[in-house]
């Protein structure tokens, strides 16, 4: 057999050339923010050349942008095994661990990278930020033990000490005959206009809204059943993530909430977008106005850990104060975990479960007044994602579980339901129908983080048949405040 000539490259050479082409395609897709397609391109490169650390590290970066932190950890670890001196592999695994709140593990990865590249300025900055976070967590843990027996801040806050100064020119709540403040439609509309002009309402009114809403949440079960009469409807929206001007656009398209125009917003109201305070105060105010016709489901970002990292905690402290940040946290812990609409449609933020046979009653038995646990039913409600193949597998996020169409069918049949509506994932078209039509993902933050280029959507159900009707919409302009403006600075370049 004749040897391969220079004009006829060997199979290995051809495979290497094609792998590099796939990597270059992936890099272009990544640059254009098409991260899911970038993962596919890097995967083709890995299939052709499975011992190249760069391909795994690049795919890890794309997974991080998609918030698939579990998959990013796997890819970064594989890259480190192939080339223990490849510094970007340590970066990626450190980034993924940090995003998952595993700060000590992230610090180990970054210190290991520093052994390889001790003078790298970006690495030194990451090390400093991660070290600060580990120290902060240790301090807060010690403080939590010290104050473990103290009552919730929302029970000790004295609103009467908060005088609304005459110099305050913004919207004012009306007072009832007994001197208590009331939330009216006029006040909420005026407040939303104030927010639109990048002005805040007085802290007294903000606290009134939060505490009124908290009281309503406390009266609800974990699973709330909502009747949808034959001649009525309800609109379900997914993640909004602090994109206030896109929230206003939803109301422009579909009408303001009212008893005749009910809504359910399915978690992740805050973080990432830098108008999260405005979003959550508007949503809580509508909850107070229409307690039986405006509904809010808790998402995985309605939690202390996520708010500390992804911006809401910093934004509240910047715009108001730390006391309000803590009372928001306490209020989030009282939000319901799921809704059943018209006896047929289950709405929850994340997804289903690692174990068979979970019932609505099992969900109702949970103690939801807490920070989300690392595993179990409550964790999975907030974090799980669907998967196209049957069965269950490890979640790409590193939290929750990936569940297949057979799991969805069994759960729905067992609980005598027709459909699951969940959110939690960016979809290029704003929504996705999966699992033989029995599962819908709805996402309502267009051009997520000003970078994803996705459309958004909401879904409307008519009481006569409870069939989903989708409306898509695109992003609208907003003031020049970048996403993640109040987030942990470690995360500002995450995945870059």
Dmax (CA) for the chain in angstroms is 101
Long-range pairs of 78-83 with CB within 8 A, sequence gap ≥ 24: 78/53, 79/53, 79/54, 80/53, 82/51, 82/52, 82/53, 82/56, 83/53
The string of DSSP letters for 401-454 reads: EEE-HHHHHHHHHHTT--EEEE--S--TTSEEEETTTTEEEEB--TTGGGTS--
Which residue in 202, 301, 349, 478 is the catalytic one? 301
Q: Which two tokens stand for residue 39?
A: 């993962």
Q: Which two tokens stand for residue 393?
A: 């597998």
- DSSP code for 264: E
- Whether the CB-CB separation of 469 and 477 falls below 8 Å is answered with no
Burial (0-12, 13-18, 19+ Cβ within 10 Å), 139 = exposed
CA-wise closest residue to 267 among 312, 303, 231, 291: 303
Q: Which two tokens stand for residue 3?
A: 């040897």
- CB neighbour list of residue 31: distance below 8 Å, 6 or more residues apart: none
Assign 3-class secondary structure to 454-482: CCEEEEEEECCCCCEEEEEECCCCCCCCC
What are the distances in angstroms from CA 176 to CA 161, 284, 286? 18, 20, 19
| First vs last C-alpha separation in the chain | 48
CA-wise closest residue to 360 among 221, 217, 219: 221
- CB neighbour list of residue 343: distance below 8 Å, 6 or more residues apart: 225
Q: Which two tokens stand for residue 143?
A: 């403080």
What kind and span of H or E run contains 193? Answer: helix 185-196
CA atoms of 53 and 86, how far apart (whole Å): 8
- Whether the CB-CB separation of 360 and 340 falls below 8 Å is answered with yes
CA atoms of 349 and 297, how far apart (whole Å): 7
Whether 301 is catalytic: yes
What are the distances in angstroms from CA 264 to CA 237, 258, 302, 418? 6, 12, 16, 18
- CB neighbour list of residue 366: distance below 8 Å, 6 or more residues apart: 222, 337, 377, 378
Catalytic residues: 301
């Amino acid at each position: 057999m004749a040897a391969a000539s220079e004009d006829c490259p060997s199979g290995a050479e051809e495979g290497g050339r094609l792998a590099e082409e796939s990597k270059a395609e992936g890099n272009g897709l990544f640059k254009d923010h098409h991260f899911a397609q970038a993962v596919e391109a890097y995967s083709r490169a890995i299939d052709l050349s499975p011992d190249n650390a760069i391909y795994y590290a690049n795919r890890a970066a794309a997974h991080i942008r998609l918030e698939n932190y579990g998959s990013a950890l796997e890819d970064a670890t594989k890259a480190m095994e192939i080339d223990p001196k490849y510094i970007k592999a340590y970066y990626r695994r450190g980034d993924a661990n940090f995003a998952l709140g595993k700060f000590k593990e992230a610090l180990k990865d970054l210190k290991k990278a520093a052994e390889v590249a001790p003078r790298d300025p970006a690495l030194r900055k990451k090390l400093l930020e991660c070290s600060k976070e580990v120290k902060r967590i240790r301090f807060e843990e010690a403080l939590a033990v010290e104050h473990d027996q103290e009552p919730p801040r929302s029970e000790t806050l004295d609103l009467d000490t908060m005088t609304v100064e005459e110099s305050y020119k913004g919207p004012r709540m009306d007072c009832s005959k007994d001197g208590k403040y009331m939330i009216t439609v006029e006040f909420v509309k005026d407040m939303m206009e104030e927010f639109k002009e990048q002005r805040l309402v007085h802290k007294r009114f903000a606290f009134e809204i939060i505490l009124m809403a908290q009281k309503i949440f406390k009266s609800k079960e974990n699973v709330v059943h909502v009747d949808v009469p034959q001649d009525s409807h309800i609109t379900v929206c997914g993640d909004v993530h602090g994109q206030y001007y896109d929230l206003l656009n939803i109301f422009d398209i579909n009408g303001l909430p009212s008893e005749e125009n009910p809504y359910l917003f399915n978690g992740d109201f805050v973080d990432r977008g830098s108008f999260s305070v405005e979003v959550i105060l508007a949503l809580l105010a509508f909850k107070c106005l229409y307690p039986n016709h405006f509904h809010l489901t808790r998402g995985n970002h309605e939690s202390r850990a996520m708010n500390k990292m992804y911006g809401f905690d910093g934004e509240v402290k910047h715009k108001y104060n730390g006391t309000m940040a803590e009372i928001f946290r306490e209020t989030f812990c009282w939000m319901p975990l799921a809704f059943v609409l018209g006896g047929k449609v289950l709405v929850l933020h994340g997804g289903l479960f690692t174990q068979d046979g979970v019932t609505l009653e099992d969900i109702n038995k949970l103690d939801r007044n807490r920070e989300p646990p690392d595993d179990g039913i409550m964790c999975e409600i907030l974090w799980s994602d669907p998967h196209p193949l049957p069965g269950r597998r490890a979640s790409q996020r590193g939290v929750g579980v990936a569940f297949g169409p057979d799991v969805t069918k069994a759960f729905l049949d067992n609980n005598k339901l027709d459909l699951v509506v969940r959110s939690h994932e960016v979809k290029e078209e704003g929504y996705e129908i999966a699992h033989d039509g029995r599962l819908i993902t709805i996402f309502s933050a267009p051009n997520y983080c000003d970078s994803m280029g996705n459309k958004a959507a909401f879904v409307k159900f008519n009481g006569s048949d409870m069939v989903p009707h989708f409306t898509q919409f695109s992003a609208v302009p907003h003031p020049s405040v970048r996403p993640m403006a109040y987030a942990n600075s470690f995360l500002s370049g995450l995945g870059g």
